[in-house]
Amino acid sequence: MCSATSYKMASAMQEKQYTPSLLSFFIYNPTFGPREGEEEKKILFYHPSDIEKNEKIRNVGLCEAIVQFTRTFCPTKPAKSLHTQKNRQFFFEPEDNFWIVMVVRNPMIEKPNKDGKPPTIEYQEEEILDTVYGAVVRQCYSMYKLFNGTFGRAMEAGGVELLTQKLEKFFYRYLQTLHLQSCDLLDVFGGISFFPLDKMTYLKIQSFVNRVEESLSLIKYTAFLYNDQLIWSGLEQDDMRILYKYLTTSLFPRHSEPELAGRDSPLRPEVAGNLLHYGRFLTGPTNLKDPEAKFRFPKIFVTAEDGYEELHLIVYKAMSAAACFMISASVELTRDFCEQLDGLVGPQLTLLASDICEQFTINRRISGPEKEPQFKFIYFNHMNLAEKSTIHMRKTASVCLTSVHPDLMKILGDINCDFARVDEDEEIIVKAMTDYWVVGKKSDQRELYVILNQKNANLIEVNEEVKRLCATQFNNIFFLD
């Protein structure tokens, strides 16, 4: 940011706003150091690492105590979070006796004082939501598990030593990608955005997936995405959910589109012989022709009938279409295989991508721009994890941009908490301070949140407006008015 402007703004407004931020993140197991003097052994991972040992022990001990204490009230549901003036702590026990704790500093406002006195700091204790950050902690674990398997697995394989190594390696990088200031309702849902597609094109994709799996029989599962939206998953829902998160928030944003690159750009795909295709590996070898190319792919862990299975993750992309092929990790992948895959999938996927694009454009033209939603809404279906948001801009690796004020996002989160409390269908209409109307609807397993900017509208008009939205956007599902 330009420093001159920020100074000007600060002097004009006289105060400075701080968003929530990560204070610490640690993982411990109380059974690893039950005796006095061995407390350090409990700690498996601690961020930031440069904190003095005794403070680490003290913080872990405090969490342990809180959890133990709250257990006396409800043995099955110990405390999930601790609210204090300056920060908020989240506790999560993903596996027996393994605890993950995340400490988030509350957002605050710094008000400068005159006469050189230190500024007054005002903590906004109620601004952050337990559901949102509780979900973030769970996501951290799921992501670790996707690439490493369970904590228990590492323990079995190499004891505490291996586990701490793995945790260090994974979370050191992963925590840097957490952007707590932009976490919101979508993190609670952890949904999947599905690409809208006509039946025929969808069947063509099915046909493609089946053919590839048949001719390259090593492939166990396939997932297919277009425009960062899911079309097909051979994985089970929960595995797909976290893989989708990884793909759309980490892997895809790291790879810019070479098709869009200039003619002389090194990213431009090579034209091999007369066979032009845009296929390329997003994981594994960047250039198949490179004699030094390594054929190593990231490994992921997914649930299987007997626990979990370890798989190579091959992500292959042509234009906007991406196919993830998963192959048992026990198989060693060779240059031969990759070349075969490239030769088979590249041309087909390129063709399919342009087919989808064409179909998508046609559908858009038919439905017309007037059908494009003018509402700001978030939709989520717990059954298939389908999410749709017209509030969020394109997700990037660093930030998730929203087009509405954080206050409104907070209201959405609050409504969501209310919905979570009861099983019944509900509808909540809120008039926000800023003249916005916020409507939350829950019907069976579906939730819909609408933000309306109609200053002078009354309750009935708002209700009608939302009905209209449901009739146009959700007319093909059973969504009670």
Report the nearest approach of other proteins to the CB of residue 174 (Å).
27
Nearest CB to other proteins, comparing residues 234 and 298: 234
Instruction: Work out the burial of residue 289: count CB atoms within 10 Å of its CB; fewer than 13 is exposed, 13-18 middle, 19 or more buried.
Output: exposed
CB of 324 vs other proteins, minimal distance in Å: 15
Ramachandran category for residue 368: left, alpha or beta (phi over 0 → left; psi -120 to 50 → alpha): left
The DSSP code for 178 is -
CB of 240: closest distance to other proteins in angstroms?
8
According to the binding rule CB under 8 A, does residue 73 interact with other proteins? no
Selected binder of other proteins within 88, 105, 166, 204 (CB under 8 A): 204
Peptide bond into 48 cis (omega under 30): yes
Tell the burial category of 78 from Cβ atoms under 10 Å away from its Cβ (0-12, 13-18, 19+): middle
Nearer to other proteins, 55 or 236 (CB): 236
Looking at the Cβ atoms of 24 and 201, the one nearer to other proteins is 201
Residue pair 147/60 in contact by the 8 Å Cβ criterion? no
Nearer to other proteins, 124 or 215 (CB): 215
Please give the order of strands across the beta sheet that includes 426-431. 386-389, 376-381, 446-452, 437-443, 426-431
Grouping H, G, I as helix, E, B as strand and the rest as coil, residue 238 is helix
Between 184 and 239, name the residue whose CB sits nearer to other proteins. Answer: 239
When asked if residue 202 is in the footprint of other proteins (CB under 8 A), the reply is yes
Q: Tell me the C-alpha distance between 428 and 426, whole Å.
A: 7
Q: How far is the CB of 225 from other proteins (least distance, A)?
A: 13
Per-residue CA distances from 214 to 201, 209, 221, 266, 449 (Å): 20, 8, 11, 34, 43
Candidate list 97, 207, 367, 398; residue touching other proteins; CB under 8 A: 207
Give the position of tokens 């952050």: 128
Q: Of residues 260, 383, 401, 459, which one binds other proteins by CB under 8 A?
A: 383
C-alpha to C-alpha distance for 431 and 84, rounded to whole angstroms: 29
CB of 441 to other proteins, least distance (A): 12
What is the C-alpha to C-alpha distance for residues 288 and 274, in angstroms, rounded to an integer? 17
Among residues 261 and 480, whose Cβ is nearest to other proteins? 480
As a whole number of angstroms, the distance between CA 166 and CA 145 comes to 11
Note whether 384 binds other proteins by CB under 8 A.
yes
Residue closer to other proteins by CB (options 456, 476) is 476
Q: Which CB atom, from 210 or from 286, has the smaller least distance to other proteins?
A: 210
| Spatial contact of 273 and 261, defined as CB atoms under 8 Å apart | no
CA neighbor of 477 nearest in space, from 389, 384, 406: 384
Coil, strand or helix at 68: helix
Q: How far apart are CA 191 and CA 421, in angstroms?
A: 20
Per-residue x/- mask for other proteins, residues 158 to 197, rule CB under 8 A? ------------------------------------x--x
CB of 152 to other proteins, least distance (A): 25
Among 77, 117, 199, 421, binds other proteins (CB under 8 A): 199
Query: Pattern 418-447, binding to other proteins, x per CB under 8 A?
Result: -------x------------------xx--
Q: Are 403 and 376 in contact (CB under 8 A)?
A: yes
Ramachandran angles phi, psi of 105, nearest 5°? -80, 135
CB 98 within 8 A of CB 151: yes
Q: What residues from 210 to 249 belong to the interface with other proteins (CB under 8 A)?
A: 210-211, 213-215, 217, 231-234, 236-237
Least distance between other proteins and beta carbon 222 (Å): 11
Location of structure tokens 């337990």? 130
Question: What are 293's two structure tokens?
Answer: 């190319």
Nearest to other proteins of 386, 417 (CB atom):
386
CA distance 60 to 42: 8
**Are the CB atoms for 41 and 32 separated by under 8 Å?**
yes
Task: Tell the smallest beta-carbon distance from residue 331 to other proteins (Å).
Answer: 17
- Asked if 200 interacts with other proteins (CB under 8 A), we say yes
Minimal distance, residue 305 CB to other proteins, in Å: 9
90/479 with CB nearer other proteins: 479
Binding to other proteins (CB under 8 A) within 317-336 occurs at none
464 binding other proteins? (CB under 8 A): no
Q: How many residues bind other proteins (CB under 8 A)?
A: 33
Binding mask 9-28 for other proteins (x = CB under 8 A): --------------------
Residues in contact with other proteins by the rule CB under 8 A:
194, 197, 199-200, 202-204, 206-207, 210-211, 213-215, 217, 231-234, 236-237, 381, 383-384, 386, 425, 444-445, 476-478, 480-481
